[in-house]
């Protein structure tokens, strides 16, 4: 997709987001995506699965014809969201594992994404990295952001591909090696942010959608991992448009849209990330995923060694 470049100095910058399912690109880091697209950065979304086993979470879409044609619907929704975000998008082609139920949980479907060896499953992503040549890549942390098996596998596959893409001995048929300069984990869901939004809602005399969730939130230290806060409040409305494009997955009257945008922009106008690897000099805290990579900064030395 051709996106007008508002700042010519950003024309050579490329950002790759790796996500587990269609809709994840719109619920995690989408305002950051829109900010960088607006600035003229090329942004690609790599989607690991087709989301075939996703639930229908919008009551208005809970119909047999939706359940019966889920793969086609998820592709159509992804195409709509892709247009709103202004991104390029590739699918790794793996089958959604679903979210196991029961105690103990049901076994994962044979051959589904989360059952695969991540070192092998990384191959399509290695190809994308070498072709797109991103300087910056984002994915989920080791817990997947939340413990869906496909999100955890997305982390494992992303880290494997990040490493393999730079190794000339691995998959040489997929092109010349490419070393991504910076790797981030998305930190969208942390208690500090939701607590701030919850407090602001109560201050206005409004009911908060987060009170019960906050009371049950066990990990109160997760936000300490944040290194990078990207200011992107101007893009929150468009972010929500992209999320609503996944209409089988998102209730337009649900909690995703319960907090007024002016509260969000005032209380928490950033999307948050953890820098886990950088080949370029940078200082934390950051407010830009491309810190150290803008034109005029020193390029990484190809002889540098690195460890994930």
Question: Is 279 within 8 Å of 179 (Cβ atoms)?
Answer: yes
Task: Identify whether 104 is preceded by a cis peptide bond (ω within 30 of 0).
Answer: yes
Distance CA 164, CA 123 (A): 8
Sign of torsion, CA 134 300 224 231? negative
Q: Annotated binding residue at 202?
A: no
H or E segment and range at residue 240? helix 236-244
- Annotate 192-218 with DSSP letters as a single string: HHHHHHHHHHHHTT---SSHHHHHH--
Distance CA 128, CA 113 (A): 18
Q: Annotated binding residue at 19?
A: no
H or E segment and range at residue 31? helix 30-38
Where does residue 178 rank: exposed (0-12), middle (13-18), buried (19+ CB within 10 A)? middle
Distance CA 198, CA 255 (A): 12
> Which residues make Cβ contacts (< 8 Å) with residue 122, sequence separation at least 6?
157, 158, 160, 161, 164
Q: Annotated binding residue at 151?
A: yes
Task: Identify whether 286 is preceded by a cis peptide bond (ω within 30 of 0).
Answer: no
> Which residues make Cβ contacts (< 8 Å) with residue 216, sequence separation at least 6?
none
Length of the chain, in residues = 308
Helices (H), 42-168: 64-68, 70-85, 118-121, 123-132, 149-164
| Known binding residues for Zn(2+) | 21, 24, 151
| Known binding residues | 21, 24, 151
């Amino acid at each position: 997709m051709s996106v007008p470049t508002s700042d010519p100095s950003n024309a050579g910058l490329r950002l790759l987001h790796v996500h587990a399912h269609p809709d994840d690109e719109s619920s995690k880091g989408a305002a950051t995506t829109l900010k960088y697209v607006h600035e003229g950065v090329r942004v690609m979304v790599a989607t690991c699965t087709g989301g075939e086993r996703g639930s229908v979470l919008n009551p208005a879409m809970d119909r047999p014809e939706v359940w019966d044609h889920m793969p086609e619907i998820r592709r159509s929704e992804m195409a709509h969201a892709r247009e709103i975000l202004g991104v390029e998008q590739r699918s790794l082609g793996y089958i959604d594992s679903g979210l196991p139920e029961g105690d103990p949980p049901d076994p994962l479907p044979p051959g589904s994404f989360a059952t695969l060896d991540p070192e092998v499953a990384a191959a399509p992503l290695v190809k994308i990295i070498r072709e797109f040549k991103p300087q910056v890549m984002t994915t989920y942390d080791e817990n997947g952001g939340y413990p869906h098996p496909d999100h955890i596998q997305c982390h494992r596959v992303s880290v494997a591909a990040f490493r393999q893409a730079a190794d000339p001995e691995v998959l040489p048929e997929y092109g010349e090696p490419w070393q991504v300069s910076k790797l981030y984990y998305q930190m969208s869901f942390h208690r500090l942010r939701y607590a701030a939004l919850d407090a602001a809602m109560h201050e206005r005399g409004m009911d908060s959608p987060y009170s019960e969730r906050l009371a049950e939130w066990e990990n109160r230290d997760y936000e300490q991992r944040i290194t990078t806060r990207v200011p992107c409040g101007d893009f929150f409305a468009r972010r929500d448009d992209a999320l609503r494009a996944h209409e089988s997955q998102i209730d337009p009257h649900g909690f995703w849209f319960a907090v007024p945008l002016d509260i969000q922009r005032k209380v928490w106008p950033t999307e948050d990330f953890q820098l886990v690897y950088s080949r370029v000099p940078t200082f934390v805290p950051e407010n830009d995923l491309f810190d150290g990579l803008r034109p005029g900064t020193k390029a990484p030395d190809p002889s540098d060694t690195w460890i994930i």
